[in-house]
Amino acid sequence: MFDKWRKYSYAAQKNRRHRLLWIFLAVLALYVLYNLLASFVFSVWALENDAMRPSLYRGDRLVFSSSAIPSLLADLKVPNSSLPFRRGSIVLIDMDRNEKEKTPLLIIDGILRFFTAQRISLSGNGERYYVKRVIGLPGDEITMTNFILRVKPADSSYTLTEFELSGKPYDVNIPQVPALWDEAIPFSGNMDRMVLGEDECFVISDDRSNTNDSRTWGPVSADFIRGRALFRYWPFTRMGLP
């Protein structure tokens, strides 16, 4: 009897349509809220390689702050605005930041990332986004010896190691290379003096055997740095500040 009422009653069908509409609106609201938070407040990312070991490992999941609002303030030339990261910060780099993408693809990509918890994307995250550590800021002078960087800040007369200038302690993985290895390539562990431009940052992997960083790209624009790592929430055994 009750099933027949739901099948033939106009009121029951109207209530069902209203429920479906509210469910759709609720999902749409969550999706819009998620994209606003991911664009302007924070986003969640999973590491796909071991380039940042021993600090981070493949599969680690981190919460990144967004650089969108600080970048907007900088564009508006707000007094005392500064970079939303510092030497030693782990950051998320968008290497295609300046490339224009088609709006429909961006919408579909956002939907896929939302409903798959960041696991599926059309943007090719493995080739576009990178997690690295900031070593040099605009105006810094940088050299490298045996995979350890030395930095002379733009406002300083002294050169210090990357660890002395970092805001927090961290460790790096230094590979073993043959004694007669050609120093002209990044794997040699040495690098000649480099002076960063007014909008350039030097980023590097903690695993120094992985040279997919500023040693091969060169300095990156501060605009390419999408966010700073705030917290590692997975795995639970290593939960905490990255």
Contact call for residues 104 and 172 (beta carbons, < 8 A): no
Show Cβ contacts of residue 138 under 8 Å, excluding neighbours closer than 6 positions: 154, 196, 197, 198, 199, 200, 201, 222
Q: Is residue 55 part of a domain?
A: yes
Rounded CA-CA distance 170/88 in Å is 8
Contact call for residues 62 and 45 (beta carbons, < 8 A): yes
Contact call for residues 212 and 130 (beta carbons, < 8 A): yes
Q: Is residue 5 part of a domain?
A: no
pLDDT tens for each residue of 47-60: 989 999 999 999 99
Contact call for residues 154 and 140 (beta carbons, < 8 A): yes
pLDDT at 72: 44
Expressed as residue numbers, the domain containing 227 is: 43-100+128-238
**Tokens representing residue 131 in the block:** 């997690």
Tally of structural domains, the chain:
1
pLDDT at 32: 73
Q: Is residue 204 part of a domain?
A: yes
pLDDT tens for each residue of 128-143: 789 999 999 999 999 9
Contact call for residues 65 and 227 (beta carbons, < 8 A): yes
**Tokens representing residue 76 in the block:** 């508006």
Rounded CA-CA distance 75/4 in Å is 63
Residue 74, pLDDT > 50, answer no
155: buried, middle or exposed (CB in 10 Å: 19+, 13-18, 0-12)? exposed
Across the chain, what does the average pLDDT equal? 79
Q: Is residue 156 part of a domain?
A: yes
Residue 162, pLDDT > 50, answer yes
Q: Is residue 108 part of a domain?
A: no
Domain of 196, CATH number, reads 2.10.109.10
Phi, psi for residue 121 in degrees, rounded to 5: -150, 150
pLDDT tens for each residue of 6-25: 555 666 666 777 788 888 88
**Tokens representing residue 3 in the block:** 């099933």
Q: Is residue 15 part of a domain?
A: no
* Percentage with pLDDT > 70 across the chain: 69
**Tokens representing residue 138 in the block:** 């605009």
Q: Would you call 127 helix, strand, or coil by DSSP?
A: helix
Residue 100, pLDDT > 50, answer no
Q: What is the pLDDT confidence band of residue 180, given thresholds at 50, 70 and 90?
A: low
Rg (CA), the chain: 23
Contact call for residues 40 and 66 (beta carbons, < 8 A): yes
pTM of the full structure:
0.74
Show Cβ contacts of residue 22 under 8 Å, excluding neighbours closer than 6 positions: none
Q: Is residue 115 part of a domain?
A: no
Q: Is residue 87 part of a domain?
A: yes
Instruction: Compute the average pLDDT of residues 201-205.
Output: 97
- Amino acid occupying residue 70: P
Instruction: Compute the average pLDDT of residues 196-221.
Output: 94
Contact call for residues 196 and 142 (beta carbons, < 8 A): yes
Find, among 75, 81, 76, 68, the residue nearest to 42 by Cα: 68
